[in-house]
Amino acid sequence: MTKLNQVLIIGGLIRFLIPTLLPQVVPILSSINEISTPINSFKSLQEAFYYFANGIELYDGGINHHPPVLVILLSFVNDLGYPVLSNIIFNLIYTLCDIYITYRLIALNQWYHDQWSSKSGSNKYNDDLIASFYLFNPLIIVTNLSHSTLVFSVLFIIETLHQLLVIKNLPRSMIALSIASYLSYTPVWLVIPLLALMQVTNPDVPKVEIYGRNFGFFLMGLMLFIIMSFLITASWQFFYQCYGTIFLFNKIQPNIGLWWYIFTEMFEFFTPFYIGVFNLYSIIFIFPITLRFTNDGVFAFILSLIWLSFTKSYPTIGDLGYILSILPIFKSSFLNYCKFSIVYIILLIICLILSPIFYYCWIVLGNGNSNFFYSINLIWGVIYLFIMMDLIWAKLTLDYIMDNDIKDKEQIDKLRLTQL
Amino acid sequence: MRLPISVLLLSIWAILFTTSYAEEQEESKAGEPSFISTEDASHIISKSKHTNNWAVLVSTSRFWFNYRHMANVLSLYRTVKRLGIPDSQIILMLSDDVACNPRNAFPGTVFNNMDQAIDLYGESVEVDYRGYEVTVENFIRLLTDRWDPDHPRSKRLLTDQNSNIFIYLTGHGGNEFLKFQDAEEIGSYDIADAFEQMYEKKRYNEIFFMIDTCQANTMYERFYSPNILAVGSSRLDESSYSHHSDMDIGVAVIDRFTYFTLDYLEKIDKDSQETIDKLFDVYTFENVHSNPGIRTDLFHRNVSEVLLTDFFGNVQNVVVNDGDEDLLYISNHDKTGELLKFYDEEPEEQISEGIVNSTNIKTSYQIDFGVENEESSDQIIQVSPTLAKRLGLGTGLVVIGLWFVST
């Protein structure tokens, strides 16, 4: 039994056995607002199943924000044997999703190592370590146990990367990205770094053909889903409920993100302004990141992922979790030059401890107020920013070393770069 | 390219599905109607023809030694609330605050019995007029509803011609007067004129006037408006007595007349059918140590037919019938009970035409009521769950197919 298989089995068993033996774990975790938001919660999915089974319009109520195709495909599972058997099958589905993601991460790790072993020394984390970074990441375990549909989104984003980089099948990666952006609105902006990545990995294909053809695939995939959703629900309500809620910030339940506080505590006069600014803020940085960092391909994509998670309308701790699990792939390159990772690791632990405490103080005990909880949200955002800063600086250091071909280890250690 | 072709095929297939799987017609239920005769209905619905109940509970005395007057009023407040009158329809006027009086050994409480079983001031007491707001002028204004425009609605007696009002006064009184706040007094003519104004303005259906003071019966002798039933605790030149004192509080806690009223009312419930003459039977000389009086000449109904809940409660008796089923039955059956037919039975080819100009009206030949016929839905057509399932599954299969054909 190889180490990898052991890790996979233990990770799978955690995700399968805990909700099967303790079924109350799922609704409890689903109600914690750091873990699942109204947009991707499993409870609203179950509500959607009920609506669907009883012929009620899925998007009439304002609870369901899952896209119609997802609801219908998963309602087949629900119909199999509600409640016990379907819950077990859902546990199985989520377990298999995570194991699938693990395999893809291992493949990506291998690809990245193959790319880089020519340039620098070959050190990478072993397969089982990468798998354990993902499967034993508590943020991801908790997200998976709460059965939030973020897992499906993540699955398709990783699949996009995998198809593009490892298998080199561009249309499939675009289809995967269209599925991911159909499931939640945010990955749609990843098409920009992805197209740039395609250009970089296939330098011999003319630009227009790459961009045009693949963007066409992406649009076709997205249109297929949207038109089919329209046909299934016979109205455009789903568009407003699934995507309009996200970019119009319709739900202002507290979450681990940065924006809910602005909408609850600031004057309503400013709400349209804030909606515009926050959406623009989310989008506008993708372009410069892509332009600057595409030479190395994946880095732009990873930075865009981090940025989009940072400025997401309804983030969860799972977003940070899966970014942290992707980062070990880059051990052989710039991760060595990250200078202050201890800072944001400690910040992460502090946030995870304080956030539920302050929420409890605010909502249950009533002796705190929303400012307590929001301060932790701000620190959570700072973690993202620290990660970005660290990664960018590490990358620039690496670029400098590569460009000037500095091989001497002592020189590298003494290197102090400054920005001009 | 393969993608547009697949989209086209999929849309054709979807339209075919839609046309071939139209909604099945539901059988209309021929329900039996539940009719009720007018006589039975009038037996069930209240004889007094009132539709809402109000209560005006006033205590008029000040100072600690008049603790029992506050206790009187608060006891009746509690009773009236218990029997169903909501706070929005009760005007509670407490002239002094004995619960928070510094001499109260049990601060924040008002008891009406020395066993201190019920704290009358404990939960959810809504006092409308407190302290020095309880004046003769305010009382008359309340009855006649002559206020400034900015007087709050919760402090007004918003009765109409279908309201039964229970008015209770307690305090220190005399021959045709009642003392307010130790400084002024209201006369029996004043109240009588106020009631006449209320009658002319159609502000009551029936009034039940209860007064527990010394020489109380003199207060109702001057009434001249119809539909007033009045009860007083003692005659001219007679005093009304307190029932007992609480040694720990130090003063008397309840008056005799009110004590026996409460004693009787505690036994009845919201749906009680007890008549008010049973209450009047409790008012004996042995109980109240004075001669209570009842004035019924202005009251058109027989006292033995008046329910206690007509004044103390807020019960509306209703006759329930199943409106939907009756309507359905009436619209689909004629008088003899035969099922009506509106059109001939059409074959199913008609249905595809129906989709072209489809709305939510089914091609039904009988009138159906139900949730599916909601016109406010955003949906263009009615998509059945099976159709939606097939479409969803089809989408999944198409995507998987595209996945495998793309290179």
In one letter, which amino acid is A254? P
Using the predicted structure, report yes or no on whether residue B350 has a pLDDT greater than 50: no
pLDDT exceeds cutoff 70 at B363: no
Q: Which of A259, A211, A249 lies closest to A378 in space, CA to CA? A: A259
Catalytic residue, chosen from B50, B172, B289, B300, is B172
> Which residue range(s) make up the domain with B178?
52-319
- pLDDT at residue B18 above 80? no
Q: Measured between beta carbons, which residues in chain A are less than 8 angstroms from residue B377?
A: 57, 60, 235
Say if CB A52 and CB B383 are below 8 A apart. no
Whether B364 has a pLDDT exceeding 70, the answer reads no
Structure tokens that stand for B25 in this block: 């017609």
Does residue A164 belong to the interface with chain B, where contact is any CB pair within 8 Å?
no
**pLDDT on residue B21:** 46
Task: Name the residue in chain A with its Cα closest to that of B387.
Answer: A232
Structure tokens at B279: 């209450």
CA A277 to each of CA A94, A122, A192, A271, A374: distance values in angstroms, whole numbers, following the listed order: 35, 44, 20, 10, 19
Tokens of B55: 């209560």
Max mean pLDDT among A20-24, A94-98, A398-402 falls in: A94-98
Mean pLDDT of chain A: 89
Our CA-based measurement puts residue B188 at a distance from the nearest CA of chain A, in whole angstroms, of 55
- Restricting to B residues 356-395, those with a Cβ less than 8 Å away from any Cβ of A are 372, 377-385, 388-389, 391-395
Nearest to A296 by CA among A226, A395, A222, A206: A395
Residue B29 has pLDDT above 80, yes or no: no
Q: Do B402 and A221 touch (CB under 8 A)?
A: yes
CB B214 within 8 A of CB B238: yes
Mutate which of A60, A181, A232 to disrupt the B interface (most B C-beta within 10 Å)? Answer: A232
Chains A and B form CB pairs within 8 A to the count of 90
With 60 as the cut, is the pLDDT of residue B3 above it?
no
pLDDT at residue A57, as a whole number: 84
A257 near A312, Cβ under 8 Å?
yes
What is residue A108's predicted lDDT score, i.e. its pLDDT?
Answer: 92
Chain A residue numbers touching B14 (CB-CB < 8 A): 228, 231
The token pair that represents A220 in the structure block: 């076709």
B274: CATH: 3.40.50.1460
Whether A232 contacts chain B with CB within 8 A:
yes
Flag whether pLDDT at B34 surpasses 60.
no
Looking at the structure of chain B, the number of domains it has is 1
Phi/psi class of residue B63: alpha, beta or left (left: φ > 0; alpha: ψ in -120 to 50)? Answer: left
Q: Is there a domain that residue B20 lies in?
A: no
Contact B406 A69 (CB under 8 A): no
Q: What is the pLDDT of residue B7?
A: 60
pLDDT > 90 fraction of chain B, expressed in percent and rounded: 56
Query: Is any Cβ of chain B less than 8 angstroms from the Cβ of A238?
Result: no
pLDDT at A339 over 60: yes
Give CA–CA dist A293/A301, Å, rounded.
9
Whether residue B133 lies inside any domain: the answer is yes
Q: Do A72 and B6 touch (CB under 8 A)?
A: no
Q: Which residues of B touch A224 (CB under 8 A)?
A: 3, 6-7, 10, 395, 398-399
* Banded pLDDT at B322 (limits 50, 70, 90): low
Mean pLDDT of A332-358: 89
Residue in chain A lying closest to B385 (CA):
A55
Say whether pLDDT at B142 is over 90: yes
For tokens 């600086």, the residue is A393
Candidates B379, B385, B406; nearest CB to A234: B379
Distance, CA of A260 to CA of A231 (rounded, Å): 33
**Residue range A41-59, pLDDT digits in tens:** 999 999 999 888 887 888 8
SS3 labels along chain B? CHHHHHHHHHHHHHHHHHHHCCCCCCCCCCCCCCCCCHHHHHHHCCCCCCCEEEEEEEECCCCHHHHHHHHHHHHHHHHHHHCCCCHHHEEEEECCCCCCCCCCCCCCCCCCCCCCCCCCCCCCCCCCEEHHHCCHHHHHHHHHCCCCCCCCHHHCCCCCCCEEEEEEEECCEECCEEEECCCEEEEHHHHHHHHHHHHHCCCCCEEEEEEECCCHHHHHCCCCCCCEEEEECCCCCCCCCEEEECCCCCCEEEEHHHHHHHHHHCCCCCCCCCEHHHHHHHCCHHHHCCCCEEECCCCCCCHHHCEHHHCCCCCCCCCCCCHHHHHHHHHHECCCCCECCCCCCCCCCHHHHHHHCCCCCCCCCCCCCCHHHCCCCCCCCCCCHHHHHHHHHHHHHHHHHHHHHCC
Closest residue in chain B to residue A218, using alpha carbons only:
B3
pLDDT, mean of residues A149-171: 93
> Has residue B348 got a pLDDT over 60?
no
* Separation between Cα atoms, residue A373 and residue A370, nearest integer Å: 5
B32 within domain boundaries: no
The pLDDT, as a whole number, for residue B16 is 57
Told to judge if B100 belongs to the known catalytic residues of this protein, a careful annotator would answer: no
Across the interface, whether the CB atoms of A68 and B398 are under 8 A apart is answered no
Chain B residues with beta carbon closer than 8 angstroms to that of A217: 3, 406
* DSSP 3-state of A25: helix
Q: DSSP secondary-structure letter at A189? A: G
Looking at residue B343, its pLDDT comes to 56
Check: CB of residue B219 under 8 Å from CB of residue B247.
no
How high is the pLDDT of residue B23? 40
Using CA of residue B348, residue B353, residue B358, residue B364, what is the dihedral sign?
Answer: negative
In a domain, B140, yes or no: yes
How many residues make up chain B in this entry? 407
Range with lowest mean pLDDT among A266-280, A400-414, B96-110, B116-130: A400-414
Domain contains B118 = yes
Residues A388-415 have a mean pLDDT of 84
Residue with tokens 């490892």: A166
pLDDT class of B12 with cuts at 50, 70, 90: low
Per-residue pLDDT band at A321 (split at 50, 70, 90):
very high
- Residue of B83, B78, B45 lying closest to B269 (CA atoms): B83
Range among A56-60, A283-287, B26-30 with highest mean pLDDT value? A283-287
* C-alpha to C-alpha distance for A40 and A37, rounded to whole angstroms: 6
B217/B234 Cα distance (integer angstroms): 6
Q: Looking at the domain assignment, is residue B122 inside a domain?
A: yes
**What pLDDT was estimated at residue B267?**
92
Q: What is the pLDDT of residues B186-210, one digit of tens each?
A: 999 999 999 999 999 999 999 999 9
Greater confidence (B258 vs B2) lies with B258
Between B41-50, B158-167, B280-289, the lowest mean confidence (pLDDT) is in B41-50
Residue of B379, B380, B403 with shortest CB distance to A175: B403
Mean pLDDT of chain B: 82
Q: What is the token pair recorded at A34?
A: 């750091």
Question: Residue B379 in contact with residue B373, Cβ under 8 Å?
Answer: no
**Integer Cα distance of B377 and B354 in angstroms:** 18
CB < 8 Å to A55, chain B = 372, 384-385
**Whole-angstrom Cα distance, residue A16 to residue A14?**
6
Higher pLDDT, B305 or B344: B305
What is the pLDDT confidence band of residue B317, given thresholds at 50, 70 and 90?
low
Task: Report percent pLDDT > 90 for chain A.
Answer: 58
Nearest to A69 among B380, B395, B407 (CB): B395
* Predicted pLDDT at A234: 85
